[in-house]
Amino acid sequence: MRYVLCLFGIIFCLSNIALAGDAGFTQKDREFLIRLDERLNQIDKRFEQIDKRFEQVDKRFEQIELRISELREDMNKRFEQVDKRFEQVDKRFEQVDKRFEAMIQLMMAIIGAFAAIVAVSIGFAIWDRRSMIRPFETKVKAIEEDLLEDKNRLKKLIEALKQLAREDHKLAAVLRNFALL
């Protein structure tokens, strides 16, 4: 199609040149047309070479498109594999989460048991101390009561000695030495 258009364009230009001149068809014109024909043949050959090159380029593009489609398929397969791996990883994480929750529950149970043991130990220690101190408290109270009773007796004894010291001067001197009078 291109060749035909080029050929018509050249013929149109040449016909205008031929019509413009007054002289008829000369030997120069004939040689010019022969050279022109040769050049057109060379141009046709070049166009054929260009067409072959375009065909080769088209083939290369087709090959590239095939490669690209193969690469897409490979990539899609790889993405599917990666998706499967992610699904496996998700399942593993779920299993780890379940194990982690079980470990946390176990740790909470251990902490609870430890806290209970500590509370029972402290409670036992307090109970033991109280039960051990009660007999001492009763004894101390008894001793305090005895001391209070003895104190009352001592006061009475000092009163008695003071009364006796009114009559006995030696006893009064002794009581003064001890600051009882």
pLDDT tens-digit series, residues 123-169: 988 888 778 778 878 888 888 888 888 888 888 888 888 888 888 88
pLDDT at 111: 96
Q: Note the pTM of the prediction, 2 decimals.
A: 0.37
pLDDT (tens digit per residue) in 4-37 = 666 666 776 666 555 555 556 788 888 888 998 9
pLDDT tops 80 at residue 118: yes
pLDDT at 18: 52
CB 11 within 8 A of CB 32: no
